[in-house]
Chain A
């Protein structure tokens, strides 16, 4: 609603140079280091990386959900206001009205002991819907996400739903307050493949109908390409590449992005077998000098281990690689 009063091009989310550090004894390197990203109204932006890359931390920071004891630098602007400096009450209002999140595992995100109707009305009440209107609105929402017999569903418990149906309920709840920004943290990882497609289609439809901006966190580039307009690739707490989905697939500039694409299994005659990226991701206990990916990179040169590459414009997007201009063969 705040976004409506501004020009439509004002980003719903602007993360500026976000750094997240844990106390020294818990992590040697920053969890996030100089992360900047933008989501405009109606745009779907992917945030892709392996586990431990910091993508979930970046996503949760938008709601002010930070690891305990974390120290932050930079800004997280939602419709122009910095989430990191909000007071508890303002933060609760922002969470209830402006930003909503769909989590990975619907079974874990809904209280198993309470009725589905309670789950929905609780969010609606927090967003200021009057009690007498909340039940009616909850039913409309369930209907909108394609739950059969929405009236009866309100009285049922989470264990009486399948995972996919429950994720629809979670999406319905996220859309309840008509947020300007929707965060989706691997929303299909815990679901089976057919349900995945349905949930993705539902998210795409909701985005199209309501003009909600969406930050879509996933480890799956293929999935990101299906739904996202632009993609940011993260490695060891930093953004290593960002560009439009089409360009990213046709011509990745960072060897890590290329590696992620190469290890996605493909179907079809003559398709190359998937090639895993050698080595393992950088843990929080390690602080490699230079480029964090150098140790696993097939294109690394001595300079990579000495000097950290900055994120610089390459093509229509950005990449953080000393050899980005040389062209990488997959």
Chain B
């Protein structure tokens, strides 16, 4: 087990390192010059440009720039944001709670509504199943910015149940959650549809297993059979897919946060890409990668608890 964990942690470091190189390289390949943005419309006198380039170490070779950035990251310094004139660490710290709340809210919606819809569809073939299939088809195919527009025009403009975009972060957790309901739905909808379908087919797979028929043939009550044998066994694929979705939710926040004007990491990333704010883009991307790898690690650690046959060092004797 310790070996397994150590191996996974080493893998994590490797993935993060490779990603950081790739992101660093890609950003510098992108067209445009950060100096244009840094000048803030001031006249681009050669002196001003040179001063800015020197201040941000833009004239150093890429390897040196990467090396100094990596050194900073390892000592806890993610660099300075060019557009906010603020330490990236502090900037991320101020944006992270909003995104975490949004992603957590959306993940809860996906887990509860998606899984329930999938279970219902599997257990009630016919009309209900068909309705869920159509509903999840539409949900999966609708991009989140479209969902956002529909939700805002319906629930905040027409009905006025939820606040629309803008207006800054509300005070207090209750008000904040109320404010984040529409963004969370817009973020969750696609994933909800996907997870409902995964749950449905996993349930149907398990319903057809011989051991389920055997349990019925032994006089075990129908509800007990569904709970202990069908639902329990369908958990594996649902957790695996659900885990990768958590990372997907985090990445999709860019669109939803921008659409709803939520001050979070996603909207920060979009703004920083536009402004060629390297340090911020680099930090947010790395954070996403680390989150992705950590979620996968958690799923891998959960797997043997769900299916004992997957325990490391476990084989048929």
What residues of chain A have their CB less than 8 Å away from a CB belonging to chain B? 60, 63, 65, 92-97, 100-101, 103, 105, 108-114, 118, 122-123, 126-127, 157, 159-162, 173
Contacts and interface: CB of A to CB of B under 8 A. Distances in A.
Contacts of B221: 92, 126
Interface in B134-168: none
A192 B216 CA distance: 28
A161 to B, nearest CB: 8
Contacts of A101: 214, 217-218
B210 A160 contact: no
A126 B220 contact: yes
Interface string B217-229: 1111100100011
B75 interface: no
A113 B234 CA distance: 11
Given A111-B233, A159-B308, A63 B217 contact: yes
Contact of B215 (A93, A105, A111, A113): A111
A173 B217 CA distance: 12
B211 interface: yes
B52 to A, nearest CB: 61
Contacts of A60: 217
B304 to A, nearest CB: 11
Closest 5 CB pairs of A and B: A96-B219, A95-B219, A108-B210, A109-B214, A126-B219
Given A108-B210, A110-B211, A160-B317, A95 B307 contact: no
B309 A114 contact: no
B316 interface: yes
Among A97, A109, A173, residue most surrounded by chain B Cβ atoms (within 10 Å): A109
Interface of B: 209-211, 213-221, 224, 228-229, 232-233, 306-309, 314, 316-317
Contact of A113 (B224, B308, B314): B308
Given A112-B307, A160-B317, 18 more contacts: A92-B219, A93-B219, A95-B216, A103-B210, A103-B214, A108-B210, A109-B211, A109-B214, A111-B232, A113-B233, A122-B220, A122-B224, A123-B220, A126-B221, A157-B308, A159-B309, A160-B316, A161-B317
B316 A114 contact: no
Contact of B219 (A105, A123, A162): A123
A290 B274 CA distance: 84
A127 B219 contact: yes
A105 B218 contact: no
Contacts of A108: 209-211
20 contacts: A65-B213, A92-B220, A92-B221, A94-B219, A96-B218, A101-B218, A109-B210, A109-B211, A110-B214, A111-B228, A111-B229, A111-B233, A113-B233, A114-B229, A126-B219, A126-B221, A127-B219, A157-B309, A159-B314, A159-B316
Contacts of B307: 112-113
A101 B215 CA distance: 11
A77 to B, nearest CB: 18
A113 B232 contact: yes
Nearest to B221: A92
B279 to A, nearest CB: 47
B218 A95 contact: yes
A111 B224 CA distance: 13
A63 B216 CA distance: 10
